[in-house]
Amino acid sequence: MRMDTSCNLKRRKVLKLKICNYIIILMAVPFVVEGLPNSLKSTSSLPPESCNGHDGYELSIFVKKPTHYICPVCDKVLRSPRQLQCGDRFCKNCVEKILQKSEEPVCPVVDCQETVDVNEIVPDHAVRKDILALDIYCEYRDNGCNKIIKLRDLSSHIQECGYAEIDCIHKQRGCHAKVERRHLADHLASDCLYSPVTCEYCNQSLSREDLEEHVRRCPQAPVSCPNGCGVKDIPRMKVTLVLLDQATGRRNLSDTFRPDPTSSSFKQPTGDMNVASGCPLFVSQSVLETPTYIKNDTLYIKVVVDTSDLYGP
Ligand SMILES: *[C@@H]1O[C@H](CO)[C@@H](O)[C@H](O)[C@H]1NC(C)=O
Ligand SMILES: *[C@@H]1O[C@H](CO)[C@@H](O)[C@H](O)[C@H]1NC(C)=O
Ligand SMILES: *[C@@H]1O[C@H](CO)[C@@H](O)[C@H](O)[C@H]1NC(C)=O
């Protein structure tokens, strides 16, 4: 095959054209879902002790409202309480706000207004412990969680709460779904494009995203009669493409597939090329463009069509 060296695009097109003329199309895609990992971590949720940039806890999360532990700055329940010399308590974060406000900060409690001595600000561990021991509702109560837990156990509960919203475990592979933990298995079994499934014809494990494409080419997957006679489950003829290694003859690249002859891709092209499917990963452009496979502007593709499995003439 001769090709124009001046234009990469053209090369790719020529190659695709040749390969895709053989290709195949859609079938129903059967699969089974494989096992789930055991520990599924929640991604959100602030541990109760952390306070950086956060003011107090919302009063509404507490079963019995601790109205005597309200921070005068944020009006919420004290988080990491700090006590000033005057005795008044504030969230750690709220004390920082007081200090930033003025060169000579004073206690903002209306009846107090005492000057704040920065060296006299202390963590109030007793009050912190009291608050962490209070009963709260799970933050996923609106989703249906009826659990009542100690505030200090919130983050560990969230790690296992079935109603917590978590990222799909295949987020890194590209699934952006957020699901309640109790629905994750269903999501993986039916929706997630990235969960591993097994091709029912060859037992190869692959992601659901790739399954359809795989079944089109799976040598074990049967096809229907192209003449519409109704006969199904016909084994496929085998097409093998070999890109010849012109340097040493040792690194031929080959890919085998069994096209579906009823597919609209399996015919003489009527436009520039047929629907581009089939061997999309046959060879990468960067590998192709090495002297191994292209020499003097020429590459060779050997096409082997094996019809020995076919019924009839
Ligand atoms: C796939 O696995 C199933 C069950 O493990 C087995 O019965 C079947 O023969 C396997 N098929 C292939 C093509 O390996
Ligand atoms: C590569 O293909 C060529 C042409 O079919 C053949 O002569 C050569 O033996 C093949 N090399 C290998 C390693 O199969
Ligand atoms: C490369 O191609 C040119 C003309 O297309 C030809 O004259 C030359 O012999 C070829 N070289 C090799 C090494 O095949």
- Pocket lining: 252 vs ligand 2, CB cutoff 6 Å: yes
Ligand found nearest the CA of 296 = 3
- Pocket lining: 248 vs ligand 1, CB cutoff 6 Å: no
pTM equals 0.49
Atom of ligand 2 nearest to the CA of 252: 1
Alpha carbon of 205 to ligand 1 centroid (Å): 12
For residues 218 and 199, the answer to whether their CB atoms sit within 8 Å is: yes
Annotated domain spans of the chain:
1-27+223-313, 59-158
For residues 265 and 271, the answer to whether their CB atoms sit within 8 Å is: no
Q: What sign does the dihedral 14-15-16-21 (CA atoms) show?
A: positive
Q: What is the Cβ-side half-sphere exposure of residue 308, based on CA atoms within 13 angstroms? A: 2
For residue range 34-65, what is the model confidence (pLDDT) as tens digits? 333 333 433 334 445 555 678 899 999 999 99
**Closest listed residue to residue 46, CA positions, set 95, 96, 93, 101:** 93
Ligand found nearest the CA of 201 = 1
Instruction: Answer yes or no: is pLDDT of 92 > 90.
Output: yes
Average pLDDT, the chain: 79
- Pocket lining: 1 vs ligand 1, CB cutoff 6 Å: no
Q: Report the 3 state secondary structure along 201-263.
A: CCCCEEEHHHHHHHHHHCCCCCECCCCCCCCCCECCCEEEEEECCCCCCCCCEEEEECCCCCC
Alpha carbon of 244 to ligand 2 centroid (Å): 7
Q: 59-158 belongs to which CATH class?
A: alpha beta
Strand partners, 253: 243
For residue range 126-184, what is the model confidence (pLDDT) as tens digits? 999 999 999 999 999 999 999 999 999 999 999 999 999 999 999 988 899 999 999 99
